[in-house]
Amino acid sequence: MFNRDSKPVRIDTLIAKSVRVHGDLEFAGGLHLDGQVAGDVRADPSAPTSLSVSDTGSIEGSVQVTDLMLHGAVRGDIVARGRVVLGATARVEGSVYYGVIEMTLGAQITGKLVRLTEGPATEGGAGGPAARDGD
């Protein structure tokens, strides 16, 4: 799903285009979003997780996952300890904290790009902004 070097990601949960979620969303495993979420999206930090957001998907809140593939919109900060892939239609209004990032021509970010350092979790949470390189 992310590139030819990574193995396919299993999708455990699908939120369809016609669905709108009001409130925070917590998940484990893989989540694919075609609909809209008005709230934070958080993944289980103790296991590898993946979130894919299609071009019709949107999140109005922060995102905390291991890996993210974004083709839609996020209005909030993104923390992805692993890989972030931003497609040509991706729109981010907020800072992106990442382990590895890949951007396609056309992706838009209004905010900071901050590479996370590797190491133990800090007070900011596993792989959170507190674990980043110095600003």
Q: Where are the domains of the chain?
A: 13-116
pLDDT value at position 64? 97
Alpha-carbon distance of 58 to 68, in angstroms, equals 13
What value does the mean pLDDT of the chain take? Answer: 86
- Lowest average pLDDT, out of 9-18, 74-83, 88-97, goes to 9-18
Compute the radius of gyration of the chain from its Cα atoms.
Answer: 14
pLDDT value at position 131? 47
56 pLDDT higher than 80: yes
Instruction: Identify the band that residue 129 occupies on the pLDDT scale cut at 50, 70 and 90.
Output: low
Alpha-carbon distance of 85 to 121, in angstroms, equals 23
pLDDT value at position 133? 47
- Lowest average pLDDT, out of 10-14, 51-55, 95-99, 110-114, goes to 10-14
Return the higher-pLDDT residue of 91 and 12: 91
Alpha-carbon distance of 84 to 81, in angstroms, equals 9
pLDDT value at position 10? 76
pLDDT value at position 5? 52
Alpha-carbon distance of 42 to 76, in angstroms, equals 12
